[in-house]
Amino acid sequence: MIPVTKPFLPDSKEYETYLEGIWQRNWLTNNGPLVNELEIQLKEYLYIRHLLFVTNGTIAIQLAIKALGLKGQIITTPFSYVATTSSIVWEGCEPVFVDIDPKTLNIDVSQIEQAITPDTSAILATHVFGNTCDIDAIDALAKKHNLKVIYDAAHCFGTTYKGKSAFQYGDVSTTSFHSTKLFHSIEGGAVFTPSADILKRLAYMRNFGHDGPDKFNGVGINAKNSEFHAAMGLCNLKHIESILKSRKEQSLIYNDLLQDLEIQHMEIQKGCGFNYAYYPVIFHDEAMALKCKKALEAFEIFPRRYFYPSLSSLDYVKPYATPVSDDVSKRILCLPLYHTLSQEEQKMIARILLRAQKY
Ligand SMILES: *Cc1c(COP(=O)(O)O)cnc(C)c1O
């Protein structure tokens, strides 16, 4: 069986060395030493000043919306994982969908301005598949209209924009360290912000608003992560260069093997140093995408319709016309891509796809 992705696992011995320390200290959660150590190592690795390790990438978005005090409408993309939209609704705001660019698959910046109303408080954009948005253009628009910017950078571990970590941009960037992501801590995520004030607010919010044992600073929630999750993050961070390298090599192999397949690739945004987190392919039409999916499934190979359906079709949002996102989401598949995927398996996948398209 070849799934669309497999979590990276370090040698179990590496994880066990951290477990001994946890047992010695008897300190399992509540921002313990391993959480602290992971935050320090991530800051060093990413060259980033402020970040907080949290429970998952969804609560990271919710914290960002709350910490920025967003109200009313938030302009967002219909082509993302459902958590991007559901977090907006969960926080009592209204998602306003702006269609995507058919080449980069990210929010189409040229259509943002016409969607801004007096009720708009922010732009929440996803860097889809690890390919950054046109960050400069979005930031300039936000400045002009006095809007906050949140980037859902769940796919962006290892991605850069203009030479710096993609996490560094926006009023807040969020990411996910879920097992299926390129870098993971089983479950987990992080919030990033250049502002020391926003960081402080996020830190209170992560821990119920606690300001000492019997004092509170504002409303909070429980977004803390455990020592066990931090330990997995620390193990995996030691392997990150090899994970990034193999993703790139496998992607280039796919490029080579699939040259004769009639597909369109996502265009990488100018200024973006791509992390090769996913391998999306866009077919000519939905019928061909489904035919190829079925052909692979007959060999126990499971690509994923990612992202499908377009989020503007959710039944708890106001309907918006997003024809490009609707169309692309029907024609796109993410092919299997993970650390241990072999060249032989990639060749088999390519053979099946080419045959399915021909006959
Ligand atoms: C995975 C993902 C999330 C949610 O992260 P979790 O850690 O699973 O909560 C949010 N947005 C995008 C784009 C994602 O891919």
Tens of pLDDT, residue by residue over 26-65, are 999 999 999 999 999 999 999 999 999 999 999 999 999 9
Check if 58 has its Cβ closer than 6 Å to any atom of ligand 1. Answer: yes
* Buried residues in 256-288 as b, exposed as e (16+ CB within 10 A): ebbeebebeebeebeebbbbbbbbbbbbeeeeb
Q: Does the CA dihedral 319-100-256-179 come out positive or negative?
A: negative
Q: Which of 4, 176, 307 to mutate to test the pocket of ligand 1 (most atoms within 8 A of CB)?
A: 176
Distance CA 4, CA 100 (A): 24
H or E stretch covering 253: helix 240-257
Check if 106 has its Cβ closer than 6 Å to any atom of ligand 1. Answer: no
- CATH for 12-99+106-237 is 3.40.640.10
**Ligand 1 atom with the shortest distance to the CA of 84:** 11
Sheet of 73-76, strands arranged across:
51-54, 189-192, 172-176, 148-152, 120-126, 73-76, 94-97
What pLDDT sits at residue 168?
97
**Which tokens go with 286?**
């939905």
Check if 77 has its Cβ closer than 6 Å to any atom of ligand 1. Answer: no
What pLDDT sits at residue 359?
85
Region of 163 (left: φ > 0; alpha: ψ -120 to 50; beta: rest) is left
Check if 182 has its Cβ closer than 6 Å to any atom of ligand 1. Answer: no
Whether 12-99+106-237 and 240-358 share one fold: the answer is: no
Using alpha carbons only, what angle is made at residue 230 by residues 226 and 231, rounded to the nearest 5 degrees?
115
* Residue whose structure tokens are 């119920």: 208
* Closest among 104, 56, 57, 115 to 79, alpha carbons compared: 104
**Ligand 1 atom with the shortest distance to the CA of 188:** 7
What pLDDT sits at residue 213?
94
Check if 130 has its Cβ closer than 6 Å to any atom of ligand 1. Answer: no
How far is the centre of ligand 1, averaged over its atoms, from the C-alpha of 137 (Å)? Answer: 24
Check if 126 has its Cβ closer than 6 Å to any atom of ligand 1. Answer: yes
The proportion of the chain whose per-residue pLDDT surpasses 70, expressed as a percent, equals 100
Check if 176 has its Cβ closer than 6 Å to any atom of ligand 1. Answer: yes
Residues 162 and 185: beta-carbon distance below 8 Å: no
Residue nearest to atom 13 of ligand 1 (CA): 81
Check if 84 has its Cβ closer than 6 Å to any atom of ligand 1. Answer: yes
How far is the centre of ligand 1, averaged over its atoms, from the C-alpha of 215 (Å)? Answer: 32
Distance CA 238, CA 87 (A): 31
Chain centroid to Cα 320, Å, comes to 23
Model-level pTM? 0.98
- Class of domain 240-358 as given by CATH: alpha beta
Residue nearest to atom 7 of ligand 1 (CA): 57
Check if 86 has its Cβ closer than 6 Å to any atom of ligand 1. Answer: no
User: How far, in Å, are 37, 171, 314, 327 from residue 241 at the CA level?
Assistant: 19, 28, 38, 35
Residue pLDDT, tens place only, 200-250: 999 999 999 999 999 999 999 999 999 999 999 999 999 999 999 999 999
Residues 332 and 281: beta-carbon distance below 8 Å: yes
Residues 336 and 5: beta-carbon distance below 8 Å: yes
Distance CA 85, CA 91 (A): 10
Q: At what angle do helices 286-297 and 323-331 cross, to 10 degrees?
A: 30
Residue nearest to atom 10 of ligand 1 (CA): 83
Local mean pLDDT, 10-residue blocks, the chain (359 residues): 96 97 97 97 97 98 98 98 98 98 98 98 98 98 98 98 98 98 98 98 98 96 98 98 98 98 98 98 98 98 96 96 98 98 98 95
Check if 159 has its Cβ closer than 6 Å to any atom of ligand 1. Answer: no
All structural domains of the chain with their residue ranges? 12-99+106-237, 240-358
